[in-house]
């Protein structure tokens, strides 16, 4: 009986296929030769689907007539029918989408584009993976090296900061404060001991007058200079002589206005003294008199000397030292310009800071500006 059922099914299927083929040929003839190949395929698929459906219906009808003992082949036929219907539906949907996208684009083109896009995405992902692998490998580029260095530097800074915070813990701060307190106490004790040492045994202290009267190391030089002046210029050539303790113990002589040039000439040309360098010359208004201060230096003796002379304030005049030291030129012009001291025999005595028509001498204590607005 099973063989008769299979034969009946085969016959029904063959008849359905033949009928579907005839129907498809008939539809093709009706549509004419201009029908595109895609439409033919659709018609054929529809006809095949209809034939399969008809065959399936016939098979089910025969199965019902034969009773409930339907063999397992019916299940397979149902599955085949469902699969065919699904395929037909998918094909129809694909053709519909192809028509909407344009007549010139075949349906397979979409699949090809999708495949190309997927391949491009895979290739890009692979390239990115290879790049990351190279960066993580031994051949690391310089940019990655810089990043590693920055990370290492940041880690070192963080470690140093943590160590500093650890060192600045409350206990350590207390030790630091204690050390500072000890140092301050030691300094105070040292100062106190020094003060005590200075105050110890008043009888042993040197009297202040004795300190002032202590002989200067330049006293022998001053004695030599005074002796030379008295021998060559005269006993009354000097008004005073002393060691200027406020100016590095410089031997200082105060000359008479009449002997000022003679003493300067002795300083310049005496073989033993030879004060060949004039380092300073300036004038001062003491209100009661004017004074010229000359500072000389002897390279042979490695010694300096100061020569002073007091002048009448009303008509201050003195011989120029330019014939002895050319460096006295501009200092004497300055003293003339600002104090009104006249240097006789000066080669070019003139005002060098103020104009020739300036009224008065600004460094005099009684100076009154001619123009109050100036």
Residue 337 predicted with pLDDT over 50: yes
Q: Is residue 234 part of a domain?
A: yes
Give Cα separations from 111 to 100, 115, 118, 229, 313 (angstroms). 16, 6, 10, 127, 122
Q: Is residue 121 part of a domain?
A: no
Residue 209 predicted with pLDDT over 60: no
- CA-derived radius of gyration, the chain: 64
Strands (E), 194-301: 238-244, 250-255, 277-285, 290-298
Q: Is residue 374 part of a domain?
A: no
pLDDT > 90 fraction of the chain, expressed in percent and rounded? 37
Q: Is residue 372 part of a domain?
A: no
CATH code, domain with 261 = 3.30.460.80
Query: Nearest to residue 63, comparing CAs of 146, 125, 147, 1?
Result: 1
Parent domain of 228: 216-329
Enter the tokens of residue 226.
């005074």
Q: Is residue 207 part of a domain?
A: no
pLDDT value for 250: 95
**How many other C-beta atoms lie within 10 A of the C-beta of residue 276?**
15
In 210-232, which positions are buried (b, 16+ CB within 10 angstroms) versus exposed (e)? eeeeeebebeebbeebeebbeee
pLDDT, one tens digit per residue, over 131-149 is 776 765 554 445 555 666 6
The DSSP-derived string for 20-83 is HHHHHHHHHHHH-TT--HHHHHHHHHHHHHHHHHHHHHHHHHHHHHH-S---THHHHHHHHHHH
Residue of 181 and 222 predicted with greater confidence = 222
Residue of 280 and 34 predicted with greater confidence = 280
Q: Is residue 357 part of a domain?
A: no
Rounded to an integer, the average pLDDT of 303-313 is: 96
Residue 211 predicted with pLDDT over 60: no
Rounded to an integer, the average pLDDT of 166-171 is: 57
pLDDT band at 223; cut points 50, 70, 90: very high
Confirm if 339 and 283 have CB atoms less than 8 A apart. yes
Residue of 366 and 213 predicted with greater confidence = 366
Counting Cβ atoms within 10 Å, is residue 347 exposed (0-12), middle (13-18) or buried (19+)? exposed
Query: Nearest to residue 265, comparing CAs of 291, 300, 310, 228?
Result: 228
Spell out the residues 6+ positions from residue 338 whose beta carbon is closer than 8 angstroms to its own. Answer: 283, 353, 354, 361, 362, 363
Q: Is residue 201 part of a domain?
A: no
Spell out the residues 6+ positions from residue 15 whose beta carbon is closer than 8 angstroms to its own. Answer: 55
pLDDT value for 69: 47
Select, from the ranges 49-58, 272-281, 364-373, the one with the highest average predicted confidence (pLDDT). 272-281
Residue 103 predicted with pLDDT over 70: no
pLDDT value for 105: 46
Into how many domains does the chain fold? Answer: 1
Q: Is residue 75 part of a domain?
A: no
Enter the tokens of residue 233.
């210029």
Residue 259 predicted with pLDDT over 90: yes
pLDDT, one tens digit per residue, over 52-70 is 777 777 777 776 765 554 4
Query: Alpha-carbon torsion 73, 75, 79, 84, what sign?
Result: positive
Query: Alpha-carbon torsion 231, 233, 237, 238, what sign?
Result: negative
pLDDT value for 124: 74
């Amino acid at each position: 009986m099973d063989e008769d059922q299979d034969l009946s099914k085969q016959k029904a299927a063959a008849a359905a296929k033949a009928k579907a083929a005839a129907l498809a040929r008939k539809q093709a003839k009706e549509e004419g030769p201009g029908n595109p190949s895609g439409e033919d395929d659709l018609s054929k698929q529809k006809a095949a689907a209809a034939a399969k459906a008809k065959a399936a219906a016939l098979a089910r009808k025969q199965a019902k007539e034969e009773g409930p003992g339907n063999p397992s082949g019916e299940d397979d036929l149902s599955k085949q029918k469902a699969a065919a219907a699904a395929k037909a539906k998918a094909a129809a949907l694909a053709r519909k989408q192809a028509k909407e996208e344009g007549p010139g684009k075949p349906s397979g083109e979409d699949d090809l584009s999708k495949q190309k896009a997927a391949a491009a995405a895979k290739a890009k992902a692979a390239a990115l993976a290879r790049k990351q692998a190279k960066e993580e490998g031994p051949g690391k580029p310089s940019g990655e090296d810089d990043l590693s260095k920055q990370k290492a530097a940041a880690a070192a800074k963080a470690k140093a900061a943590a160590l500093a915070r650890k060192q600045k813990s409350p206990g350590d701060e207390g030790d630091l404060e204690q050390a500072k307190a000890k140092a301050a106490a030691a300094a105070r004790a040292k100062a106190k001991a020094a003060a005590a040492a200075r105050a110890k045994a008043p009888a042993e202290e040197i009297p202040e007058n004795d300190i002032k009267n202590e002989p200067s190391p330049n006293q022998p030089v001053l004695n030599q200079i005074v002796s030379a002046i008295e021998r060559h210029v005269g006993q009354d050539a000097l008004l005073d002589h002393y060691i200027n303790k406020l100016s590095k113990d410089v031997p200082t002589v105060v000359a008479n206005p009449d002997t000022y040039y003679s003493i300067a000439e002795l300083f310049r040309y005496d073989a033993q003294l030879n004060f060949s360098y004039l380092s300073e010359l300036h004038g001062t208004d003491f209100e009661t008199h004017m004074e010229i201060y000359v500072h000389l230096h002897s390279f042979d003796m490695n010694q300096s000397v100061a020569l002073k002379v007091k002048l009448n304030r009303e008509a201050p005049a003195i011989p120029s030292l330019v014939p002895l030291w050319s460096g006295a030129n501009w200092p004497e012009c300055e003293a003339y310009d600002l104090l009104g001291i006249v240097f006789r025999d000066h080669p070019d005595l003139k005002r060098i800071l103020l104009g020739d028509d300036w009224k008065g001498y600004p460094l005099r204590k009684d100076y009154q500006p001619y123009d109050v607005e100036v």
